[in-house]
Amino acid sequence: MAEARIAVVGARGMVGAELRLVLLQRGHGEPLAFANASDCDGAEFSVAFLAVSAEAALALAPRLLAQGVRVVDCSSAFRERADVPLVVSEVNARDLAAASSARLVASPNCSATMLVLALSPLQAAFGIEHVSVATYQAVSGAGRAAVEALEAETRAQVDGMQPNASAFPQPCAFNVFPHESAIDEQSLCNEEEQKLVAESRRILGMPELPIDATCARVPVRRAHCQAVVVTLSSRASLEQVRAALQRAQGVSLHPDAGPDTASARNATARDDLLISRIRWAQSDLDKPEQDRRRVALWLACDQLRKGAALNAVQLAEAAGWI
Amino acid sequence: MAEARIAVVGARGMVGAELRLVLLQRGHGEPLAFANASDCDGAEFSVAFLAVSAEAALALAPRLLAQGVRVVDCSSAFRERADVPLVVSEVNARDLAAASSARLVASPNCSATMLVLALSPLQAAFGIEHVSVATYQAVSGAGRAAVEALEAETRAQVDGMQPNASAFPQPCAFNVFPHESAIDEQSLCNEEEQKLVAESRRILGMPELPIDATCARVPVRRAHCQAVVVTLSSRASLEQVRAALQRAQGVSLHPDAGPDTASARNATARDDLLISRIRWAQSDLDKPEQDRRRVALWLACDQLRKGAALNAVQLAEAAGWI
């Protein structure tokens, strides 16, 4: 459907800009670009990528759907809606096929996307029982203002000045702090941790998979890292684990150390998930080899690209919309 | 023993400079300062703090001991030696008292020090069975050249230039990567992870405590953070966990979010371990309250201060050497 007229809504944001770039790079041409949801009229296009707030997406998507537009939403607005497929293209494109009449599809949270890219091949090969993850999240997940704050604060600090008010609750330059999303009073988890758990479970089709997550911000422009420990359901050798990840789509294996190991910098502007440090969790080393089940992994992924824009475009491609 | 003549060896390094500062701040006066191990003669002083490489410490310490000097070593040279106490002052000062004739004491790895400060009160109150930790480590743990590299690389990058060769295997500015220490071919753990596990076990007196660690570098000048999940041996409420940590020495509790939450920046130049985000690990929330055992914590600690210099000085104080 090369004739699809494509729109990007929220085109001035970080994800919006990346969507335009990915669409161009993948041969879909220059999309119509709308800065705000209020500017756009579904009569002008047939497929829309929404890179706006959940609040704006909630208002805009029904209006576009009523005009016959197919919508890929990058916000959290529809990710928990059972009638809206939540899809990572390499992991559960089956959910998109199963909902072939769906005109709205949701692209997941960036941290969930990269985590399930690593978990899914292990789930398929060995089954998985438990996941523990600590994230190292770039500031661009919080939008353009956050990246500008990191730049401005960093500049001030290298010149020996105190940073001004930040886009975050505290300065982000040369700092690490828990993810700034709201803390749920019941669970004491922040919203990012809740999304990561709920969305990963849904995408993997394991609604009760035990996942422990801690999400934190690091002073990086783009690309998140994750330290993960996965408990497998069945016996596997480390070579089999490595082979399963090596075969997986959208994933590349990297050395455990040195200039080419998986890192925020090496993941930046790349399409795939970088994995290194595939090993047994240390406490499993005290067990006989046949009893080892807990695999540790180190992940790095560009959250603006596969974590947002690229996955959204891949979903529209998989659905045959573009 | 106000008359102790104190020396700092390796005085130009990051830990050496901090040792001088801490000694002054705690009323021990200006120490004799030696840049290199080869310059110093034990006849000139009665207590020495070694802030040199493990290799240099291995050569120097026996020479000083033979001259009757009491030695606190900040390197890894003696940390595994059964006849040398490895001590965090708030945690196992008993090991120092038990080795009252010891003339050499080792101060632990910075990551182990901060971890056991949080684990020890939980161990005492409830018992602990398993620990999982991911670290966010400042570059200053790698020495002054690393801090200078971070500054220079950051300056270059904010000016839109490519960073020059780094003190690390890849640029550290705006980047996150696995800890750069050597990878053990057998376990595939890096040296920092091995130290963290071995030293934490020894300090806690639990030689078989299962600990899973992933150590990574973040672009921060000083102060490490850690995302921790501890499995308790016996039933506890979250209020009891909080109370046990609140009572602990060298520890302060901080809000779960906002400007005062535990962070690298907020921990910098502070003496204590900052703890926030005391909560049940998410997967425990699906269990009945009486079955919950896995506590998640977020830690931040200045690794040059409590993680190195301050603890070393506290050890000499606890031993009655200064």
Residue of A nearest to B282 (CA): A212
Inter-CA distances, A314 with A31, A57, A271, Å: 15, 20, 11
Give CA–CA dist B172/A96, Å, rounded.
40
Q: Quick check: A220 and B221 CB within 8 A?
A: no
The residue assigned the tokens 């001590």 is B87
Model pLDDT, residue A1: 45
Choose among A202, A173, A177: nearest CA to A190: A177
pTM of the entire predicted model = 0.97
A112 touches chain B (CB under 8 A): no
Bridging pattern class, strands B251-253 and B177-178: unpaired
Model pLDDT, residue A165: 67
Which chain B positions have a beta carbon within 8 Å of A267's beta carbon? none
Choose among B7, B224, B197, B4: nearest CA to B114: B224
Inter-CA distances, B223 with A175, B59, B153, B271, Å: 9, 30, 19, 11
How large is the average pLDDT for residues B94-119? 94
N- to C-terminal Cα distance for chain A?
Answer: 5
How large is the average pLDDT for residues A295-301? 98
Angle between helices A310-318 and A89-98 (to 10 degrees): 40
Residue of B nearest to A160 (CA): B151
CA-atom Rg of chain B in angstroms = 20
What confidence category does residue A101 fall into, taking pLDDT thresholds of 50, 70 and 90?
confident
Tokens of A286: 């005290």
Q: Quick check: A263 and B175 CB within 8 A?
A: yes
Contacts of B95 (CB under 8 A, 6+ apart): B85, B86, B87, B203
Model pLDDT, residue B165: 67
Is residue B228 pLDDT above 80, yes or no?
yes
Interval A8-25: pLDDT, tens: 999 999 999 999 999 999
Which chain A positions have a beta carbon within 8 Å of B265's beta carbon? 170-171, 174-175, 177
Give CA–CA dist B163/B175, Å, rounded.
12
How large is the average pLDDT for residues B215-219? 98
CA-atom Rg of chain A in angstroms = 20
Is residue B229 pLDDT above 80, yes or no?
yes
How large is the average pLDDT for residues B161-172? 84
Give CA–CA dist B193/A234, Å, rounded.
26
Give CA–CA dist A314/A306, Å, rounded.
9
Give CA–CA dist A84/A76, Å, rounded.
12
Model pLDDT, residue B3: 72
Q: Quick check: A183 and B280 CB within 8 A?
A: no
DSSP symbol at B94: H
Which chain B residues in 162-221 lie under 8 Å from chain A, judged by CB atoms? 169-171, 174-178, 180, 182-183, 187-190, 193, 197, 208, 210-214, 216, 218-221
What confidence category does residue A294 fall into, taking pLDDT thresholds of 50, 70 and 90?
very high
What confidence category does residue B158 fall into, taking pLDDT thresholds of 50, 70 and 90?
confident
What confidence category does residue B1 fall into, taking pLDDT thresholds of 50, 70 and 90?
very low
Q: Is A164 left (phi over 0), alpha (psi -120 to 50) or beta?
A: beta
Contacts of A95 (CB under 8 A, 6+ apart): A85, A86, A87, A203
Is residue B287 pLDDT above 70, yes or no?
yes
Higher-pLDDT residue of B311 and B160 is B311
Q: What is the count of residue pairs from A and B with beta carbons less than 8 Å apart?
A: 190
B212 and A281 Cβ atoms separated by less than 8 Å: yes
Triad B210, B213, B218: Cα angle to 5°: 165
Give CA–CA dist A269/B72, Å, rounded.
47
A252 touches chain B (CB under 8 A): no
A225 and A307 Cβ atoms separated by less than 8 Å: no
